[in-house]
Structures are given as structure tokens and as C-alpha cells.
Chain A
Amino acid sequence: MKGLVTSHHGLRPERVSADADVWVDPEHLDAYLNALSDVGWHEREASRAAHELIEHSVTLIHPEWPCDLDVHQSFPGFLRSREEVFEVLWERREKLEIAGHITAIPDRTSAILITALHAMRSPHQTPRHGAELRGLVRDVIPALSSESQQDLLGLATQLNAVDTARPVLAHVGLDLPAPVAAGSDSALDAWRQRTAGGEGRTTQFVLHIRSTPWRERPREVFRAIWPTEADFRVEHYTVPPGYWHGVAGRLKRIAWGIRQLPGVLRGRRLARQGITDDSLLHEDGER
């Protein structure tokens, strides 16, 4: 649903991907994972934080394959229910021959939205995301026919993604509905805060902690700040062995988290103003 598909639709240059993203009917996710387990694929070991923060997909690995498999049951930024989103996109699917087999892929309009939301959600994961988003706005959107523009806006409306993808849709050349006000939709508030919240996971931790019941928050805060050494090493496997290296690494992690606080506050401010951040569209990344 991403790499090959995005290139096929002319939304980004072709390149070798480190993983393959597939989207599975949420109702059949377990059956799909079991079938892959039968042929040697298993879930990549993940930290507690990753388990808590990443709910939309599962990353599978195979000891003899050089790439991961990201199995999605939803896609962040589409605020309709995951079942409805899958159903709508499935109805619009197209076919692409991959490795000699016909594969169902999102149609071009869906792929534009997926590409936009993916880039916006992880703006700092790689500079590539900013380039892809700017490419959409500069090259892809203006070249759409008025029918395709209507289709894009219609799909975004149907999947409740007009406000999450607003920075891109604003370039469609159609009148968009007024932005949804802050406080009307907690998922939209969280999206706005996250996409404007800068790099790192600090914003994600803040959002996660706010979504947990009050009585669980102290424990969640503590684990976010000070994970167990084993949990810390799952993601920081280059830290040398030894107790004190584990302590020093976690202290550095706290310092890194503190440095992200201005971004967190910025994200919170924009979310409270009901603004979806569009700074990724600017070449200099000015925020």
C-alpha cells in the first residue's frame, strides 16, 4: 500500500524499500498473522513503549528475509473507524502485477491521501517525507483534473480526513469546509498535536498518558521517563552492555526528551487553536 504503490501511481520516484506495507481487513487480521506465522514470520521484538504507542500496525520479520513486513489494520489520519476505512478503500482498489501476481492496491486518489497522511504523521522520521509532501503539492495536486480533485476531496470527507490532511487538500483548488474546532474531536486534536509536535516520541508519550485512566497515569509517566533496562535496550541496542551504561543511556534519553518539550508545547498550542500544522510544506521546514 505504500512503496511500490506510491511509485506506480507516480507519487514518488521508484526506490528500494526496507519493508513492505500491507493493509489487512481488520476482521481477518488474526487469520492473516497466523498464516504468516506458519511460513516463518514473527513479530519483531518491540519495547513496551512501541507496543503502547503503535496500534495501527504490526511489524513482522523472517530470519531469512532482508525486509520487514508492516501489517496495517488501520492508518493514522483517517479518523473514520478502521473497518469503514478499509471497506471504502477496498471498494476503490485497483490491480497491479507484482512479481508475476495480481495484487490489490489502493487507487491513485487513495494513494495520494495515504502518502500525505504518512508524511505528515512522521515529519521528522526522514527528510524524504517533507520532500514527498512538497512533491504532492507542487506536482501531483495541480495536475489533477477537476474530477480527480473532487474525488480526492470526496474521499477525504468520506474517511474523515479533511482536517488531518488539510495542508495538502488546501492546494486542491476547491473550497474546503471550515476547520473543525479544537475540542470537537479528540482524535483530531491528538493528530494536530502530534504532527506539530516535533521529532521524537515525547509528544506521543504525552498523548498516550493523557489517554490513560487517572489511576494509571503515575505508572505510565514513570515508565515513559524511566523504562526498565531490558526494555530500554530493545530499542537502544548499540548501548554497550553493563548496568552503568544502561543508566547513562536512559539519562541521555531523558535529556533528549526534555529538548523536545518546545515542540510538544507548540503542538499543544496549535491543537488548541484548531490548526493542522503545514510547516512541512515549506522547504526550510520553518515551524
Chain B
Amino acid sequence: MSASPAGASALRRADGIAQVTRDDYCVVLNLPRLEQQQSPYVFDGTSFEIWSLIDGTRTEQQIVDELAEAYEAPRDAVAADVAAFVAQLRELRLVEN
């Protein structure tokens, strides 16, 4: 079990997606929703960092904490970036929690 804060659940990638991961980017295809999303997404830079941490064990807050610490960046700024990206992923139904 992950050590998630009470009330928050871990983010996990949607079942059935296809993805190819390289050193600094990954390509993600929403196979279960291929009729609506016919082309793959390329995540690099910040989006790649966030996507890499969405592994079913971390909550959104934990991802923010890790990134803020790793990059020594203001937590609020990181939280805003993560929230915006995760909201997009949820809208695309690429992540679930």
C-alpha cells in the first residue's frame, strides 16, 4: 500500500493505453479511445517528468512534493503545473484515480 494522505488516492494510468518510453520523452496512445483520440501524445520536459511519476503509487500531492524537492522549485508553482497537466490527462481519460 502506498502512503497516501487520507482522502487522496494514487493517480494511475488508464488501462489499455499504449506507450513507448525513451530516456527523456514518451509517446502515449489512448487505445481504448482510439476513435476519439486517433493520434499519439508526446510527453517531454515537464510533462514527461509528471507522467513518469504517475505509476499508481503516488497521489497528486506526492508528485508535487517530489518534483518541488527534486528541482528545488517553489511548491506552489509546481503544484499549479501538475494540477493543470493532470486535469488535461483526466479530461483525456489517460489517468484515473
A residues whose Cβ falls under 8 Å from a Cβ of B = 38-40, 62, 64-65, 98-101
Contact of B17 among A38, A98, A100 (CB under 8 A): A100
Name the interface residues of B8-28: CB closer than 8 Å to any CB of A: 17-20, 27
Cβ-neighbour of B38 out of A62, A98, A99, A101 (below 8 A): A62
Closest to A40 in B: B38
Give residues in B with beta carbon < 8 Å to A: 17-20, 27, 29, 31, 34-35, 38-40
Q: Counting chain B CB atoms within 10 Å of each CB, which of A38, A39, A40 scores highest?
A: A39
Which residues on A sit within 8 Å (CB–CB) of B39? 62, 64-65
Please, how many angstroms separate the alpha-carbon atoms of A101 and B34 in the complex?
15
Q: B35 contacts which chain A residues (CB < 8 A)?
A: 38-39
- Whether the pair B38, A39 counts as a contact (CB closer than 8 A) is yes
Closest to B29 in A: A99
Within 8 Å CB of A65, what residues of B?
Answer: 39-40
On chain B, the residues within 8 Å of A64 by CB distance are: 38-39
Q: Is A100 touching B34 in the complex (CB atoms < 8 A)?
A: no
Question: In the docked arrangement, what's the CA distance between A99 and B17, Å?
Answer: 9
Contact B18 A100 (CB under 8 A): yes
Nearest chain A CB to B43's CB is how many angstroms away?
Answer: 14
* Distance of A64 Cα from B38 Cα, bound (Å): 8
Residues on B with C-beta less than 8 A from A101 are 18, 31
Contact at B19–A100, with CB atoms within 8 Å?
yes
Instruction: Please list 16 pairs of residues, one from A and one from B, whose beta carbons are closer than 8 Å in the complex, sorted by A's number.
Output: A38-B35, A39-B34, A39-B35, A39-B38, A40-B38, A62-B38, A62-B39, A64-B38, A65-B40, A98-B18, A99-B19, A99-B20, A99-B29, A100-B19, A101-B18, A101-B31
Asked, given contacts A62-B39, A64-B39, A65-B39, whether A99 binds B34 with beta carbons under 8 Å apart, the answer is: no
List, in ascending order, chain B residues with CB within 8 A of A62's CB: 38-39
8 Å CB contact of B18 from A38, A39, A40, A99: A99
Query: In the complex, what residues of B have CB within 8 A of residue A98's CB?
Result: 18
